[in-house]
Amino acid sequence: MDAETSIRRFIVRNLMMKKDENVISLDEPLLEKGIVDSWGIVELTEFLKKEFGADLDDADILPENFHSVRTIAALVNRGKS
Partner 1 sequence: MHYLLPHLLTRAASQSPDQIAVVAGSDSVSYRELDRISDRLAAVLSSHGVARGDRVGIFLPKSMGAIVGIYGIMKAGAVYVPVDPAAPPGRVAYIVENCGIRVLLTSAKKAAAVEEILSKGAALDRLILLDDSAWSDGPAVPVVTWTDVLGHDGNAPVLESIETDLAYILYTSGSTGVPKGVMISHRNSLTFVDWAHDAVGATSEDRFSSHAPLHFDLSVFDLFVACKAAATLVLVPDGLSSFPFRLAEWIEKERISVWYSVPTILSLLVRSGDLGRFRYPHLRTIIFAGEVFPVKYLRDLMALVPKATYFNFYGPTETNVITYYRVPPIPEDRTAPIPIGIACANTEVFAIADDGKRVSRTGEVGELYARGSLVAQGYWGDAEKTQRHFVANPLSRGFRETAYRTGDIVTLDDDGNYVFLGRRDDMVKSRGYRIELGEVETTLYRHEGVREAAVVALPDPSIGNRLVAFVVLSDEAAADAEDLHEFCGEHLPRYMVPESIELRDHLPKTSTGKVDKVELARRAGGTAPAGN
Helix, strand or coil, per DSSP, at residue 28: coil
Among 40, 48, 75, 76, binds partner 1 (CB under 8 A): 40
- Asked if 36 is part of the footprint of partner 1 (rule: CB under 8 A), the reply reads yes
Q: Establish if 61 lies at the interface with partner 1 (CB under 8 A).
A: yes
- Distance (Å, rounded) from C-alpha 66 to C-alpha 62? 7
Closest distance of CB 63 from partner 1, Å: 6
Closest CB to partner 1 among residues 61, 74: 61
Q: Which ranges of the chain does DSSP label H, i.e. alpha helix?
A: 3-10, 38-52, 69-80
Burial class (CB in 10 A: 0-12, 13-18, 19+), 32: exposed
Does the protein bind partner 1 through residue 31 (CB under 8 A)?
A: yes
Q: Which residues bind partner 1 (CB under 8 A)?
A: 13, 16-19, 31, 34, 36-42, 58-59, 61-63, 66
